[in-house]
Chains A and B, each alone.
Chain A
Amino acid sequence: MNPTPDWKRPVELSPDALTDPDNSDSKPQISPVSAPREIPPALAQDTNDNPPDEVPVRAPARKRSRRWLWGALGVLASTAIGTEVYRLISWSNDIHPLLGAGFAALTFILTCALGIEVHRGLRGNRQLKQVHALQQQAQTLLTQSSHGNSTRLTRQLGRQYHGTVLQRELQSALQQLDSSYNDQEIVQYLDRHALSQADTAARRCVQRYSIESGVLVAFSPWASFDMLLVAWRNLRMLREVAAIYGIASGPLTQGRLLKQVLQNLAFAGASELSLEAGSALLGSSLTASLSARAGQGLGAGLFTARTGLAAIRLCRPLPAQHKESALPRKIAKSIVQQLTARQNDTL
């Protein structure tokens, strides 16, 4: 017989021995044990209370090298603008105090607006970073069938999206997590059930903007403005998608998001999307009837769709598990339909 077994003995406990690890105030209430038994309610607690093992999340390497340069430039520019504005106010004050006060008020309002914008932008940027970290965490958990490691993720989800549009659905999904789910199942559950409203809204938004920009390009008489048109629609779309996923969106966030989206698209290469949509259309006789201009419209629409899907991938707190196969095809189809319909009208 083995003197020191490497397994834990079974223990039978009296039900009253169950104790309450009292640490449940800061976390979302997950899966309350529903057993109205004779034991005092204080003894019942749930199993997801295990202190979470730290999930190693590699922080993205910061680029510090250029920071000081931008900082110096910023200081220089703000000093220059500050002195210039000060001179403007004092000069107008010399002309008439009322004019001076007017300019001062204008400056004040502008500064406030700028401050708010910057604040929002910073918050948006921070949120984007957090989303990235969450996604990475979820990705790691998806490969594990361990237990209890996802507490950190669920806690962060609950906290970070507190007070945003996602809060309601997320909270109710977090509450319904079953105590028997392992980490992988928890992420899968949340992926399916915690974001479905936002997902639908975001997909609808992308679809709308894609069709819109496709049609706009196809029918705008000025070919040289195509780029501008598409850029304008795309920026609007980015902002809306970010807002749908509870990310504070201002021009700053938009810019950062755009940068990431473009990076994303560039690295994706000839992405699955264009291939998909192309193959979906090749078979259809619809393409045959498209004029060259309409073809450009289709291209613009598909580009917008790609941008939109990339934006969704970046803003969604959990990595999207199911492939978006239906959406590009649907978008391509409705663009072509709209184009042929209008072409037939004009003929």
Chain B
Amino acid sequence: MGLQDTLKTLVHKSHLSDVSRHLKHRIEQGLEQRVKLAVTGLSRSGKTVFISALARHLQQSDQGLSLPFFSAAADGRIIGTRDCSHESAIPFPLQTTLAGLQASPPHWPASTDQLSEVKLALRYRRSPGLGRMLGEHTTLYLDLIDYPGEWLLDLPMLEWSFATWCRQQQALFFASPRLEASREWLTCQQQLDWLAPADDTQFQQLAHTFRDLLQQLREPPYCLSLLQPGRLLMPGDLSDSPLLNLFPILTDLPANPDQAAPDSLYSRLKSTYYAYREHAVRPFYEDHFRHFDRQIVLVDCLKTLNRGEACFTDMQQALNTLLHSFHYGHNSLLRRLVRPRISRVLFAATKADHVTANQHHNLDRFLQLLVESAQREIRFEQVETHCLAIASLRATSAAQAKLDGQYLSCLRGHRKDNGEEMALFPGEVPVELPRAEDWNSERFRFVDFAPRPLPVGPLRPEHHIRLDQALEYLLGDLLQ
């Protein structure tokens, strides 16, 4: 074996190549040639569909057809796009997802159970002007990650001690609607002696009961979002791991914790909590969530309208909580090299194709209502934010029906559950928070639609709603 080969293996073994690649990425990021876009959203908010649609449209952006409001593409300045996801150890299954959407009948991607990365390289021509001095052609690398939305809610736990977490959960579980759903669990907890030794089976049984409770809270009729720990709902590679035997203490915490036996429930829970934090949450955060430049927060407003006030407040609280885990602010060059912060945030109401076009503006405003306090916090850091109703993949077409002598705009699409064609006027999106008595089940009917088949060939603007404006807002200034 030659010296060179030996060196190579040594470098490989010592992860030096990793370091150099990492360094290269950071310098590119510092020079704004590599952008990490955070696609943030609770589960089922449309992250996977957004990422797939974005990648697909960008792949075709050199044709300049489908993104008329994304100026780099509309001006014909994009020369070509390359999918470099294979460089990643965990590539995003773009081909599979697209194949599912292009199949007949097409189907939505399955829910995500793993973290995966998309890396796109956009070669573009600079717009005429001063920037041309830096050379006419250049490349922008765009990194995105897709992950189960449930995991996102674990991030705040990094800053909480076990006691803090338990107190947070107490506040949640002693309020409606969790209180009604979890009465049994609460009485069960009240009968426990936290400091006495407990055996494994009892511990595991309790953990399973709590997991089932979380699952129940996630489903209709509750449809809650702020459910921790997230891995209980979507374990990923941790399934059957002892880390998942975790639940909060919802009764008063023991007054004298030092007297707890080492195998008592209290000690077990506490150590599991910290182990969970270090081994499940921290790697996820450190490896993937620290260095973002831009952020899009996807919010499923229609779910809250369908479900009512409890769902609305819970989602609001979940968003506020999790956005604290990101760093916002402006970047100096040095700052960008060392630790970039998010300098632009777009709040997007997804699935805008579930409402008629004249309601999009109302949807914008409703989203503003939902994220108002989060937006205020971010603006305090002098970071630009904006609200926009988008649909990454349009499943409906606009139509009109004559009803009682009046024209009514409605939607035409296929039901998600049985594939039947349907026409629907889904109700109007309110621009103010409905009062509790207005929030009845008859007011909105946003049904899930099956996707329209995505063409294998060129896409057109009618395949999305405002995806181009979202892109322009998030990346437009970097593609000058």
Contacts and interface: CB of A to CB of B under 8 A. Distances in A.
A5 B438 contact: yes
Contact of B410 (A18, A44, A180, A188): A18
A7 interface: yes
Contacts of A44: 399
B412 interface: yes
Interface string B346-362: 00000011001110110
Contact of A193 (B74, B129, B402): B74
Contact of A10 (B129, B360, B426): B426
Contacts of A21: 400, 402, 407
Contacts of A33: 397-399, 412
Contacts, number: 130
Interface string B437-463: 110101111000000100000000110
A13 B437 contact: no
A146 to B, nearest CB: 8
Interface in A133-165: 145-148
Contacts of A14: 423
A18 B399 contact: yes
Given A13-B410, A17-B423, A178-B462, A46 B398 contact: yes
A342 B307 CA distance: 76
Interface string A3-31: 00101111111110111010000000001
A180 B399 contact: no
B409 interface: yes
B69 interface: yes
Q: Which of A5, A15, A181 has the most CB of B within 10 A?
A: A15
B466 interface: yes
A77 to B, nearest CB: 52
Chain B interface size range: 35 or more
A284 interface: no
| Interface-centre pick from A18, A21, A49, A182 (highest chain B CB count, 10 A) | A18
A118 B430 CA distance: 56
Most buried by A among B403, B445, B462: B462
A182 B361 contact: yes
Contacts of A9: 427, 442-443
Contacts of B394: 180
Nearest to A37: B421
A192 interface: yes
A241 B352 CA distance: 42
A192 B67 CA distance: 12
A8 B424 contact: no
Contact of A180 (B398, B424, B442): B398
A13 B381 CA distance: 48
A65 interface: no
Nearest to B438: A2
Interface in B404-429: 407-410, 412, 421-428
B437 A326 contact: no
A15 B402 contact: no
Given A13-B403, A44-B399, A47-B399, A35 B423 contact: no
Query: Which of B358, B399, B402, B424 has the most chain A CB atoms inside 10 A of its CB?
Result: B399
Interface string B307-344: 00000000000000000000000000000000000000
Contacts of B356: 47
Contacts of A18: 399-401, 410, 412, 423
A192 B68 contact: yes
A44 B412 CA distance: 10
B423 A12 contact: yes
A180 B460 CA distance: 13
B244 interface: no
Given A7-B427, A11-B408, A180-B357, 14 more contacts: A8-B428, A10-B424, A10-B442, A13-B410, A13-B423, A14-B423, A17-B403, A18-B400, A21-B402, A45-B399, A148-B358, A179-B397, A182-B357, A182-B361
Interface of B: 68-69, 74, 128-129, 352-353, 356-358, 360-361, 364, 394, 397-403, 407-410, 412, 421-428, 430, 437-438, 440, 442-445, 452, 461-462, 465-466
5 contacts: A12-B425, A31-B462, A46-B398, A181-B357, A192-B69
